[in-house]
Structure 1
Amino acid sequence: MKVRDLMTSDVTCCQPADTLQQAAQSMASQNVGSIPVCQNNKVIGIITDRDICCKAVAAGKSHTTPVRDCMSQKVVTCTPETDAHEAADLMATHQIRRLPVCDSNGSLVGILSIGDLATVDIHINEAGDALSKISVPTAAPNAVH
């Protein structure tokens, strides 16, 4: 099965100059935890609810801070033709729950979530395996044990 058969094609993006509040409002209205950051429909980053919490709120930044200041810039993507098994491996390897899907021109055409993989019976084990690898906790610096 290919990613194109599982991905969500109606994807909301934000721009690098959008505020964190705008990104958070988009996440809330779409009921998602991350939004690709695009320029000219090309993915240049991704902003997550965790980025907003840990890189902005915890650091005392304002809700008017631009998304570009807190987004993750190293984005792993796949194409619609990527095999679903390979996509699950990418998610596990890079410890990510969402994978932007870009066409051959690099334009955003969809997003694949770990949940999308879990909805297909043949991928339940892979989705579970990927999720278990993604969900491995790491010790925070200066963590109290």
Structure 2
Amino acid sequence: MNTIRECMSQNVATVSSNQTVKEAAALMSQYNVGSIPVVDNGQIKGIITDRDITLRSTAQGQDGNIPVSSVMSSNIISGSPDMSLEEASQLMAQNQIRRLPVIENNQIVGMVALGDLSTNQMSDVAAGHALSNISQPNKTT
């Protein structure tokens, strides 16, 4: 069985909750990623995405000097390294997320993106299913 440990990125850039949004954006640019886990004292506290920065900071007229904690998502959906690719795909689809922090012993050990799953031939169907669910608009009334 293939696990996400086999396809996750292991060198994960992180920011602390008191760093600025500008610093987080600079790291995203440097590492060419769309999200960065927020870690304080070794514990994951949230995740900040390029979308969070755009919608919760820039679109609100904020400058880049506000703390990451004011725009990060704190409801963390995470996986474990031994989770199967199919389980990860299902979790991502259910929660409509494209990136999944991988946690082991309460520490972040990696990140897996939808693209990582789709590059594994065993999970093409699962990744396709996840993408179709993630890409559907939320049904709000």
Normalising by the smaller structure, the TM-score range is over 0.9
Alpha-carbon deviation of 1:42? 1.5
Matching of residue 134 in structure 1 with residue 134 in structure 2: yes
Question: How much does 1:140 deviate?
Answer: 8.5
Counterpart position of 2:11: 10
User: Quick one: distance in 2 between partners of 1:61 and 1:139?
Assistant: 29
TM-score, structure 2 as length reference: 0.95
Query: What's 2:113 paired with?
Result: 113
Distance 1:95 1:39 in 2: 25
Residue 80 of structure 1 aligns to a residue whose secondary structure is: coil
Structure 1 position 64, deviation (Å): 0.1
How many residue pairs match? The answer is: 140
CA RMSD of aligned residues (A): 1.4
1:107-145: per-residue Cα shift (whole Å, max 9, x none)? 00000110110011111111111011111124789xxxx
Query: Secondary structure of the residue that 1:45 maps to in structure 2?
Result: strand
Q: What SS does structure 2 have at the residue aligned with 1:75?
A: coil
Q: Partners of 1:65 and 1:111 in 2: how far apart?
A: 25
* Letter in structure 2 aligned against 1:89: Q
Unpaired runs of at least 5, structure 1: none
TM (norm. structure 1) is 0.93
* Structure 1 match to 2:27: 26
Moved over 2 A (4+): 137-141
Secondary structure at the counterpart of residue 93 of structure 1: helix
